[in-house]
Structure formats: C-alpha cells, structure tokens
Chains A and B, each alone.
Chain A
Amino acid sequence: MEPKIFLIDMNAFFASVEQSINPALRGKPIVVCGEGRTIVTAASYEARAFGIKTGSTPCEAKRLCPGVIIVRSDMNKYVGSSLNIHGILLRFTELVEPFSIDECFMDVTSLCRNGKTAADIAREIKKLIKAELNLLCSIGIGPNKVIAKLASKMQKPDGLVEITRADIPGVFETIPVEKLQGAGVGRKISEKLNSLGIKTAKELGQAGEDFMMFHFGISGWHLKRIGLGEDSSTVKEYSYSEREKSFGHSHTLPKNTFDLQTIRSYLLMLCEKTAARLRTAGMSGKTVHFYVRYGDFTGFGRQKSLKHHINKGLDIFSTAVDILEDVLPLEKPVRLLGVSISNLILENGQKFLFEDIERERKLTGIVDEINNKYGDFTIKPSSVLIAENFGIEDRCGLIGKYNFKGRKVSGLIGKNNLKIVE
C-alpha cells in the first residue's frame, strides 16, 4: 500500500486564534502585529480580501482597509494552541512531526484499514480541530512529505486535497516551480531555475542530473528528486528529540539609532538571554553570529568562530562586539539586532582546576536560578538598563523553529473544554 502522509496547515493561524478567543473579532478584518514598529505577522481571511498580506506594515494595512483591527501578538496563546493541536493529532498516531508553529506532518498509513481511507481520517481531524479549538486547517495528503506539502497549499482555507503517486505526472505537468516553495524549493532557487529555463515541476524532474549538480551542487540531485515527486524522508515520532543546532535572539528597537551605547546595551541583553537558554539546555557553542538590520531593511550578518566553546553572556557579547567593531562606522541607523550561537556541544559538568573560573560558574548558576524563579533579568548587568530605558518589547524575537517536544510551555484549551494541558 502506498504511504499516506498528511501535512496539516492551520489557516491564518495567529489571526484565527485571536478570533476564537474574542468573538467580537470573528468575521472582521484583523491583523496581528507586535508592539511598536513591526510588521503584520498574520492577517485574517477577511483582511486578506482587502489585499493585506503577511509582511505588510500596519500603515499599509490601514491604507488598504481603514477598518482593519490591529491586534497585538501574544506568542503564549499561539504556542499553547499549537500544543493543543498536537494533542488532537496524537490521539490518532505517535507519528506526528511538527514542522512549524502551525504545520505538522503525520503518517497515517497504518490507520488506513477496514475500509477507512486517509481522506476519512483527515475529515475527522478537521472536525475535531474545529469543534475543540474553533480553528480551520487545510490538509494535504500524499505518498511523501513533499507531495503532502504541495497538496496542502492547493486549497485554502479549510482545504482537503489528495495527490496519489498516479496523479503526480499530471499535476507536475503544469505546476510552476514557484509552487514547490515550502515543499523543498526556496524562493531564490526557484528564481534560478526559471533563469535556467526550468519553469515547471515536470521540467525540473526531466532536467539532467549532471546539469543540476553543475548549477546547484549536491542540492541539484535533491531538487531533481523533488521534480520527480520523490522524497525518502520519513515522519518522525513526536517524542523524537532533535537536538538544537543553535540558540539566538533578535530585537526590533523602538526607533532607529546610530547610538553605539544603546546598541551595545541591547546586544548585551540579547547575549545574556541567549546564554541563559544555552545553559538551560546544558550546552555551549563556539560560533557567534551577529546581524543588523538597518532602518531601510538592508543589513548585514557576520560570524566568528572561537577556539573554545562558551556559554556565558559576556563571552558571547565580547565576540559579538568584536564583529561589530570590524564593521564600524555603521552605514545607516539600526532598526534590529540579532545574535545567535551555533556549533554546539553538550556540557559535561567538568569542574575547573582554577578556583576563580569555578567560582564564576557557581555565580552564573545562582543568577540563572534566581532569574528562573522570579523572571528573566531579575538580576541583570547594569548596562542593560540603557536598553530598558530606550524601550524593550515584552519578548525578544526567538530565532529558529519552536521546539515543542517535551517542553512545558503552555496549554491552550478550546471553547468550553477546560482540560488542563501540561
């Protein structure tokens, strides 16, 4: 039997959660934005009818739809909602793999028996998500993840599309390579494919292997496989824990600035926050990546690898400052700062021979304990006060995918169903 893989894609997720929470927002054009100078992170379907898109500024949204309601984002609500969706999916099978905060893969092959089809199971899932959380989703069904992802994008909102292996040649005949974005082909790659005369998925599948590898390296072989509708990756079990590859944070400043003292203060805050998470995960890293976005949305990113692994905020900070000083003077005022650390290893609990280093580790541990008990930055370096006076969002941007596995974040409970979820 052909594998049956689902991609469940929540429709207008953040906006839909807000509309479920507040009945007065239902049926109205709403956009979800951060506080201050941010962009639209989600627009309801009513707002999209006015041409408002994710990535618009709130001003653009207001211009397109003067009556649009702007709702401030609250990530705790969306993360909790995501966990509750996982809970519904896990009632069917353990083969549930979150792909992003609003997308999950599922492998339901073993459930398709005794006359029950994959489409039957998909309809059941949609009904449960709607009944318990008042949310809509589109489900794509395919013989592998790539096809399931493609199918999920074909009908929105509230879609259900199945593409079997037999359907692939017909579907790929006319589908442009841009439609494969998110199914394994990025935006820049699809642009390059177009420039090489490869316009459709079928043409991608027919392209010579040598030709693809010449232009795209080893990725060329994978791209050709995608063009043939092939993908051998499997859906992982929900309990499978993939180790983090990097930790990082970013922050949009309340106003653009050239002031280095302010920039350094924000950078220190981001480094301390990153380091705290790194230590909580029991890891350290040796490649620090620092990036800047200017007020005109251009910017740069640089990284520096160290000889030894580090996990203290001040150590990450001093590396990031080295990178910053290499690019001074700044070309334009700064809008956003970001820092991350990668090339990670697990800390092995080694004790240090030198007393002062061991004392510093103990002190760091005590600070972490106090901040974990009373909240982030209960104890903080004094120069972070500069950033606080300049203005700080409730939450620094989290770089990378949300890792829900085994993480006690929050539980979102649907209408009239107050089952408490850890």
Chain B
Amino acid sequence: MSTEKIGEPIDVGAVFGKNKIRPKWFVWNGRKIDIGEVTYTWKAREGDSIIRYFAVTGGATSFELSLNQKTMCWTLEKTNVE
C-alpha cells in the first residue's frame, strides 16, 4: 500500500443535487478515470475557504479529491495504490 501526495488541479464531472455533490469522473494526466464509489467525504477550512474532500475509488486505486468552494477548483490530493 503506497500513498502519494499529488496536489494537482484536475477537471471533474460531478452531479449536484439534493444538497449533495457526487463526483462521477475526473481527468488526470490526459486520462479519464471513472469513479466507482465515493467512500467518504469531509470538510475542512483554509483561511475563509471551505474545502470539501471526497475519498473515491477508481479501479484498483483510491483517490482523495478536493473542491475549494471559493474558487470552485478541484484538486487531486492523493492516490492510494495497493
């Protein structure tokens, strides 16, 4: 099991509705990754920005994505590879 910190901006396709955000896919290094499952989400604060975190699976890898609610930018925070 290895965890790698990435911290790179990504494009994400998500469904917004019923007070929920459900990321469905994201593009990283030119590759589209479909999200299998959102296993957990949590929030944190940086200065006056709220950052929403999503732990998701995509194949054999799990990822942590974040959405900065102020800038509306998505970031690939970490990858976890078994």
Contacts and interface: CB of A to CB of B under 8 A. Distances in A.
B38 A375 contact: no
A15 interface: no
A418 B43 contact: no
Nearest to A370: B47
Nearest to A414: B40
Interface string A409-422: 11111111011110
A418 B18 CA distance: 9
Given A22-B80, A23-B39, A24-B80, A410 B44 contact: yes
Contacts of A419: 19-20
Interface residues of B, number: 25
A410 B57 contact: no
Interface in B57-82: 57, 62, 80, 82
A252 B65 CA distance: 29
Interface residues of A, number: 34
Interface in A382-419: 408-416, 418-419
A420 B16 CA distance: 12
B42 A77 contact: yes
A372 B38 CA distance: 31
A412 B47 contact: no
Contact of B62 (A24, A71, A72, A375): A24
B20 to A, nearest CB: 4
Contact of A375 (B41, B46, B80): B46
B48 interface: yes
A142 interface: no
A243 interface: no
Contacts of A418: 19-22, 38, 41
A415 B42 contact: no
A292 B17 CA distance: 51
A299 B7 CA distance: 38
B42 A413 contact: yes
Given A25-B1, A418-B21, A419-B20, A20 B39 contact: yes
Given A22-B62, A23-B57, A418-B20, A374 B42 contact: no
Interface of B: 1, 3, 19-22, 37-48, 52-53, 55, 57, 62, 80, 82
Given A71-B3, A373-B48, A420-B43, 12 more contacts: A17-B40, A21-B55, A22-B80, A28-B1, A77-B53, A80-B42, A375-B46, A410-B44, A413-B40, A416-B37, A419-B20, A420-B20
11 contacts: A20-B40, A21-B39, A22-B55, A22-B62, A24-B62, A81-B42, A372-B47, A378-B47, A415-B37, A418-B22, A418-B38
